[in-house]
Amino acid sequence: MDLFLKNKSVIVTAGSKGLGRAIATEFAREGATVLIASRDEKNLQETVASIKKETANENVTYIVCDVKDPDAIKAMVKKASDWNGTVDILINNAGGPPAGKFLDMADEDWYHAFELNLLSFIRTTREVVPFMKKQQRGHIVNIASSSIKQSLDNLVLSNTMRPGIVGLSKSLSQELGGDNILINAVGPGTIETDRISELNQHRASEQGISVEEVKTKAEQLVPMNRYGQPAEFAKAIVFLASGANTYITGQSLIVDGGLIKAL
């Protein structure tokens, strides 16, 4: 199947590690022109070098961008559009919000999670949509969490903010379908990244058990008996954001090895 990704202009936010890095790698493998963004320049440099080496695609670059900073978002989209003349594909992603329960969270925690996990998607989308409208074509995939289908223990910030991504994606699919701009949300179940290691450490110290035990117990809950790998997640994103996807929009997909039982 041709994914029609050669020379397409792609932005992947939070692209230096974990899911974002895997997504950027798969786009590069398909011949796209990829801009990744996150906060740590050294990680970004290493990731760009590694993606170039792995995919033999030289059209990969980075910009330092904290997605909580609206000016940095503008600079990121300007860099991609100056480089390629447009933005064809946006993958909205960000770091995860802190773990914790409702009474652990003060106003500043809620503002932080809103800015990081919802407002950043809104701001970045606002910058790219004019390019997509102009060319009457575009794909946006918003990375959420399985908490869009089933709330997660001890993650009240995620359980509250991520469903907003679904509402945003659905609204945009209605407003922008006529411009041939397709928007979907994808929630990872448990995909083996640093984020999962951090959450497992948190759970281990809460429950007084080892991190290995937390992992084994979690894997036993997955019908496929294992965590997912970032590349497995990335392939779903790349298909949804590709020219091969011409009619799936406004949907929420969970990539979780069968973990979530909700319909």
Ligand X SMILES: NC(=O)c1ccc[n+]([C@@H]2O[C@H](COP(=O)([O-])OP(=O)(O)OC[C@H]3O[C@@H](n4cnc5c(N)ncnc54)[C@H](OP(=O)(O)O)[C@@H]3O)[C@@H](O)[C@H]2O)c1
Does 68 contact ligand X by CB under 6 A? yes
Alpha helices in 136-209 (DSSP H): 156-176, 194-207
Instruction: Report in angstroms how near the CB of residue 64 gets to ligand X at its nearest.
Output: 9
Chosen residue from 3, 5, 11, 14 binding ligand X by CB under 6 A = 14
CB atoms within 10 A of CB 262: 8
How many residues form the binding site for ligand X (CB under 6 A)? Answer: 28
If the CB atoms of residues 157 and 176 are measured against ligand X, the closer one turns out to be: 157
Report the C-alpha gap between 71 and 77 in whole angstroms.
10
If the CB atoms of residues 60 and 94 are measured against ligand X, the closer one turns out to be: 94
Say if residues 252 and 144 touch (Cβ distance below 8 Å): yes
Does 188 contact ligand X by CB under 6 A? yes
Instruction: Report in angstroms how near the CB of residue 257 gets to ligand X at its nearest.
Output: 11
Does 113 contact ligand X by CB under 6 A? no
Closest CA to 111 of 91, 97, 94: 97
Does 142 contact ligand X by CB under 6 A? no
Report the C-alpha gap between 7 and 258 in whole angstroms.
34
If the CB atoms of residues 57 and 93 are measured against ligand X, the closer one turns out to be: 93
- What's the alpha-carbon Rg for the chain, to the nearest Å? 18
C-alpha 88: how far from chain center: 16
Instruction: Report in angstroms how near the CB of residue 188 gets to ligand X at its nearest.
Output: 4
Residues that bind ligand X (CB under 6 A): 14, 16-20, 38-40, 43, 65-68, 93-96, 116, 143, 145, 188, 190-191, 193-196
